[in-house]
Amino acid sequence: MAGQKEILEKAKQSIIDLDKDKAGATAKEGLSSGIDPATIINEGFIPGITQVGDLFDRGQLFLPELMMASEAMKTGSAICVAALPAAEVKAAKKVVIGTVEGDVHDIGKSIVVSFLLAHGFVVHDLGRDVPLDEFAEKAKEVDADVVGGSSLLTTTMEKHKVWIEKVKAAGLRAKTIIGGGPVTEPYAMRIGADAWGENAVDAVKKIKKLTGLA
């Protein structure tokens, strides 16, 4: 049977290889070998997705590859998260995220979700074309640490201001972050968002900062 170091390296490489089947199999192998699920995520999958993110930032990988890496990450990390003790899951930071009403684009948002799951966040994905009231309602229901919104259309971008105001009006403690094609950092700051995610990798970095994890 492979040792812990070898399995963790295999987990890392499965993400770099964009291989979701290998990621899932390695997660199961690690758990059956007695490796702590958090260790598999933190010392295997996360170093892999970090390397993929760096390659994406440098223009050496492109969106299709990033999507494949996120799917591999989602597959492997989901198996590990399911094996975490209930107390660890309860203590994890919670993120509510969705694509705003009127916008059905969710590729970027889905990649962010995959990365967040891999980093140990509990994610409540509202999906796409989300009614603006739902952001605050779900955040209140789960006592979210962060609420995130995405939009790819200039015609839906202005809706971020509405749901952010609803979160604030509800007196919630959650921080807010927005992103998507037409969204810029100056715009995010102007409408009162706490952060702006330039892309999926950057969004996760910002969410970790907002929750005190970075």
pLDDT digits (tens, 9 = 90+) for 33-55: 999 998 998 899 989 988 988 88
Same domain, 69 and 100: no
Same domain, 82 and 99: no
In angstroms, the CA 83 to CA 60 distance is 34
Question: Can you give the CATH number for the domain in which 137 is found?
Answer: 3.40.50.280
Position 6 scores a pLDDT of 96
In angstroms, the CA 116 to CA 207 distance is 9
Bridge pairing between strands 94-100 and 146-150: parallel
Position 181 scores a pLDDT of 87
Q: What one-character DSSP code corresponds to residue 177?
A: E
108 has a pLDDT exceeding 70: yes
Query: Helix (H, G, I), strand (E, B), or coil: what is residue 128?
Result: strand
Q: Which residues of 68-96 are buried (b: 16+ CB within 10 A; e: fewer)?
A: bbbbbbbbbbbbbbeebeeeeeeebbbbb
Instruction: List, in order, residues 6 or more apart from 194 with CB less than 8 Å away.
Output: 175, 176, 177, 210
Q: What is the mean pLDDT of residues 175-184?
A: 95
Structure tokens at 114: 């995959």
In angstroms, the CA 59 to CA 198 distance is 14
Same domain, 18 and 115: no
Across the chain, mean pLDDT equals 92
Q: What is the mean pLDDT of residues 66-94?
A: 85
**Count of structural domains, the chain:** 2
Same domain, 204 and 99: yes
Position 1 scores a pLDDT of 58
Boundaries of domain holding 76: 4-86
Position 90 scores a pLDDT of 67
Instruction: List, in order, residues 6 or more apart from 43 with CB less than 8 Å away.
Output: 8
- The structure's pTM equals 0.77
81 has a pLDDT exceeding 90: no
